[in-house]
Chain A
């Protein structure tokens, strides 16, 4: 059933990741890291599903709620911080 399909997707994404990242120049490593860090906040999708699975605030939903907060910090903080850094790279290029 679709377990194998999921593993297949996982493997393909791994190869894709290797292809994408190995070409990045070293001066962009910090923004790359914080940008990909923001993407790892995708776990928010799981957190939303867990929180919304029932109408009340049972134990599952409480765990999910905390997870939503944490994942959102990861996502929002990660993207904004990356943008701040990259903005500096840009200004500099224009300046010179």
Chain B
């Protein structure tokens, strides 16, 4: 019965993920996957090994309440950090499952633990417990379970602290920039070795096993922080995808401990999906996954790109209005700054006004715009921007020269022409939205600082570019009111 329920749950997860891949079915897909989860949970509760319900039900009640509050209070602009946080909870959950299993095995001893786990087929030692050297007989199983426990703790721990740090970076609690310190790599290598040693001690058992369990927990938590610390800014989408992947793998590892297929299947699905998304993000930035993970990108201020310190030309909102009023084709290029300024609704309003004015309006979305994959699409969807107006980079780039006005809102590196023509630039080779090819470019920007990569943007000083400084939301609102007063 239990196995059957788990198989059904796994199938529902698979279908759910498949449906999430098409816009029309996505919402139902999410429900299908949630039903799978419900079946898995209820079936587990029915399991004969569950002796007491009080604390389980209490935990589910508390967790549900917190989950509901979180889900309905979060702003759409804060989605990346929300996903990071939820991810962290899942990771810590897997760590605790691993830890709890280690404690349980200490509490009941191996014979009972194995019997609980594998059922009657392994319970032959029950007949004459003393006579059978069960540790020798089941040494493979024991080693395997110990390794699975260590894996769940290590992956879960890294996921937890990594995600919490990613959350803190994204929500601005700590600086979002990449942080590196001297000797970081040797230190990380030392920690990895220490963790390996602790794992070996733990798997071997003996008097040091329990101490090394705690060592594994602590080192994995520290590693999560150190792993995310040197990665910042525009690389965050990759980090989020990767942590998502790890949280799935941690669940799969927990599944190996308790020999549970549904954990293994769904954990692995999540694991691969996260890895694929990471790779997609990396490709969009023309970087390798290794390059992102080593980190430190843009941590030091890059030397100003050679020579001429031309001041960018600044214009006012009403100057911008006069150009826009005559424009036939307008492309918005949104970036993380639009999310920060919460400008998506007023941007949509401006787009609508431009359309009424006879202009053709579209929104060019760079694959890594924002702080998580697809971030801009969600924001513009929230603002009711019509689906057909969202265009991908490869579609919009060939048409750029015929665009009258490109309005860059809070995006920086994804429109930096240095990626095309400056071989020495760290972002050289990254595909960009060719906003600089439009007849004129307006860049809405809070101040004169650089983007997250810390690079000077050549676009800002190009002859066809004009800066409109100030809060993006206020600027767009000013242009909108100019339109309305005419």
Contact = CB atoms under 8 A, between A and B. Distances in A.
B52 to A, nearest CB: 5
Contacts of A71: 63, 89-90, 93
A65 B54 CA distance: 10
Nearest to B268: A13
B97 interface: yes
Contacts of B299: none
Given A17-B273, A52-B56, A84-B72, A46 B263 contact: yes
B374 A20 contact: no
Given A13-B265, A37-B86, A61 B55 contact: yes
Chief secondary structure at chain A's binding surface? helix
B127 interface: no
Contacts of B435: none
Interface in B328-381: 365, 367, 372-375, 377-378, 381
Contact of B97 (A56, A67, A91): A67
B244 to A, nearest CB: 6
Given A45-B263, A60-B107, A20 B18 contact: yes
Given A28-B21, A89-B26, A37 B55 contact: no
Contacts of B47: 49, 52
B382 interface: yes
Chain B interface residue number, banded: 35 or more
Given A50-B100, A67-B96, A89-B23, A76 B56 contact: no
Contacts of B24: 93
A80 B33 CA distance: 12
A87 B375 CA distance: 15
Contacts of A95: 384, 386
Contacts of A52: 45, 47, 49-53, 55-56
Contacts of B384: 91-92, 95
Given A30-B372, A79-B30, A47 B93 contact: yes
A1 to B, nearest CB: 7
Contact of A60 (B93, B103, B386): B103
Contacts of B13: 39, 42
Interface in A24-61: 24-61
A59 B23 CA distance: 46
Given A52-B50, A70-B92, A77-B70, A6 B261 contact: yes
B79 interface: yes
B63 A72 contact: yes
Nearest to B98: A46
B256 interface: yes
Given A23-B21, A79-B34, A39 B63 contact: no
Interface in B32-80: 33-34, 37, 40-41, 44-45, 47, 49-53, 55-56, 58-60, 62-64, 66-68, 70-72, 74, 76, 79
11 contacts: A18-B272, A21-B272, A26-B373, A30-B374, A31-B30, A38-B33, A60-B103, A66-B96, A67-B59, A74-B87, A74-B247
Closest 4 CB pairs of A and B: A72-B63, A17-B272, A76-B67, A68-B59
Given A50-B104, A67-B93, 7 more contacts: A30-B374, A33-B240, A38-B86, A64-B55, A82-B30, A88-B381, A93-B23
